[in-house]
Amino acid sequence: MHLITPIDGCILLHLPGFFLNEVKQICYGDLGCFSIDDPFDNTLGFLPESPEDIHFDLTLYTRNNSQIGVQLGYNNTTSVSSSSFNPNIPTKIVIHGYMSDAFEPWVLNISNLLLKKVRLFVIFNEV
């Protein structure tokens, strides 16, 4: 229900769920539960969307495939076991940040520099 309240010549319109998410917690199976309560109350009332909704994927890069990565599907162990990933080799995870994507020049540059410098795997997220 929308409530319109006049206050000192202004109109206050209450739209449930419009400015703040009225749900305080959401759970995503083996990822666990997320809350907007203290100490995680810095999200402006927004809870994370599901990995399926944001199309979360990881891409694995190695020295042998530094230009075209191997997709590691979220929650898909077959994609990991069929890749060249080896848990005994160091792995660096590059996270591009909220307002960027995996194909920003700095993400590609740091991936290439890491692969040239050290024998390791580089994984970054694609959202």
pLDDT reported for residue 53: 86
Q: Whole-prediction pTM value?
A: 0.64
Give the residues of the chain that fall short of pLDDT 50: 1-2, 5, 12-19, 21
List the domain boundaries for the chain. 1-48, 51-126
Task: Note the pLDDT of residue 88.
Answer: 93
Mean pLDDT of the chain, nearest integer: 78
Nearest to 56 by CA among 101, 117, 12: 101
CA distance 127 to 99: 10
